[in-house]
Amino acid sequence: MKRLLLAADAFLFAAAFSITGSVALIVINQLTGALDQDTTEATLGALAIQGGSLLLSLLAVGGGAVLAWRLHGRQLTSPVAVFMVFGILIGTPVAFGLFGGLAVLMSLIPLGDGPPWIAIGVLAAAVMALLAMPMVDAVRDARGPKAHARLDMLRWIALAVIIAIGVVALPLVGAIQGSEMGEAGIFMVPFSLAGAMAVLGGDLYCSWIDKRETKAVGTA
């Protein structure tokens, strides 16, 4: 249970970081108009924005994973960091593979010209399930001795950021502009899953070390 809660917190924080970074890049794009011009400079600007988006997303993954790890009282050693990176390297393609597989599956279902509501519903259900775990724990902790008040506070802040940007601001702006900006928040999901995979990688390493040390003590 602790491992799942750690992964859910990493997902939560990575999602908040990722969606905030996405908004920053959208604002930069709107201000510069880099994607609306057909020039060499505009093409380079578009590539720079896309590269920046990928970099920010990876930083969000790592930042969310490290923040969750430290808030859970774990020590961030070099081997743990290495296994977190392994988790990201494995988790990112797996998450995008699942994301792409869902998109392909939905393309086989005739939905007309409207939004892919089934796919959006599946993603929303998965996201809510992952976000529910840390928030339920925060509510329980608020009624008890408040063992991890700072963690709970940051959980609420991260959730507020996700709701304010992903649920309210982006869909509203997208509806006003008649653009697909409202769907931008969906792309935080695979990167957030990679954040969860990162802490799972670190936790599996720690579990392996604990078992090895326990076995060594038992045979001594």
* Residue with more model confidence, 130 or 177: 130
> Residue 117: what pLDDT?
59
Supply the DSSP string of 44-107, one letter for each residue.
Answer: HHHHHHHHHHHHHHHHHHHHHHHHHHHHTT----HHHHHHHHHHHHHHHHHHHHHHHHHHHHHH
Report the C-alpha gap between 78 and 80 in whole angstroms.
Answer: 5
Report the C-alpha gap between 115 and 192 in whole angstroms.
Answer: 23
> Residue 47: what pLDDT?
60
> Residue 48: what pLDDT?
61
* Residue with more model confidence, 48 or 153: 153
**Domain positions in the chain:** 2-212
Which of these ranges, 28-42, 43-57, 134-148, has the smallest mean pLDDT?
28-42
* Residue with more model confidence, 155 or 101: 155
